[in-house]
Amino acid sequence: MTTIRYAEASIEADPDLPIIRITRDFTATPAQLHRAHTDPDLFARWVGPDGMDTRIVEWDVRDGGSWRYVAARGGEEYWFRGCFHQVTDTRIVQTFTFEGMPDDVSLETLHFEDLGDGTTRLHAQSLVDGFEGRDAWLASGMEVGIDQGYSKLDRLVAEGAI
């Protein structure tokens, strides 16, 4: 029997800069995590909190490409969009905007660190315009969507879907 450890993400606010840093280990290779973040069908299956249905509207994974998706639950829709600035095998740099707050654009950097033995550490950093916006994100309950989404990603990897 294979035992899979599901972990919670570490979410930290930088005291000096309006940055949120998220770190999480996965029982997956960097290539698997990269695919989970760049394949629109896979991404829609794991992103966000439980009970949300995600539909990809636009997905052009390349330097200069853009993306847009909608997450829905109980008749409410939440729209998100951004642009891919750099996409490599181990790093993705993109913007992220919740369309309900169109002035709050973050610059996100994802890095997939190979820890060996099929384990990868995801380092995610979101730089926002100011401390007020950063603190609003932190107070929004974002950790629930992050932890539940990453747990879904763990299950997809364990099932061999990625």
Report the distance separating Cα 69 and Cα 28, nearest Å. 25
In angstroms, the CA 115 to CA 120 distance is: 5
- Bridge partners, 58 (sequence order): 68
Predicted local confidence at residue 101, as pLDDT: 85
pTM: 0.91
Residue 73 maps to a domain: yes
What ranges make up the beta strands (E) of 51-132?
53-59, 66-73, 76-87, 91-98, 105-116, 119-127
Q: Per the domain annotation, does 5 fall within a domain?
A: no
Q: Is residue 8 one of the residues assigned to a domain?
A: no
Domain of 134, in residue numbers: 19-158
pLDDT of residue 24: 97
Confidence at residue 103, expressed as pLDDT on a 0 to 100 scale: 84
Contacts of 31 (CB under 8 A, 6+ apart): 89
Domain count along the chain: 1
Q: Are 107 and 2 in contact (CB under 8 A)?
A: no
On whether residue 13 sits in a domain, the answer given is no
CATH number of the domain at 136, please.
Answer: 3.30.530.20
Residue 10 belongs to some domain of the structure: no
> Which is nearest to 69 in space by CA: 43, 101, 108?
43
* Residue 133, pLDDT score: 87
| pLDDT tens for the 162 residues of the chain, in order | 333 444 789 999 999 999 999 999 999 999 999 999 999 999 999 999 999 999 999 999 999 999 999 999 999 999 999 999 999 999 999 999 999 888 889 999 999 999 999 999 999 999 999 999 899 888 888 899 999 999 999 999 999 999
- Rg of the chain in Å (alpha carbons): 15
State how far the Cα of 34 lies from the Cα of 38, in Å rounded to an integer: 6
Cα(39)–Cα(7) distance, integer angstroms: 23
Burial label for 21, CB within 10 Å (0-12, 13-18, 19+), is middle
Query: Is residue 72 in some structural domain?
Result: yes
DSSP for residue 120: E
Any domain includes 3:
no
Is 6 a member of any domain? no
The pLDDT assigned to 12 comes to 93
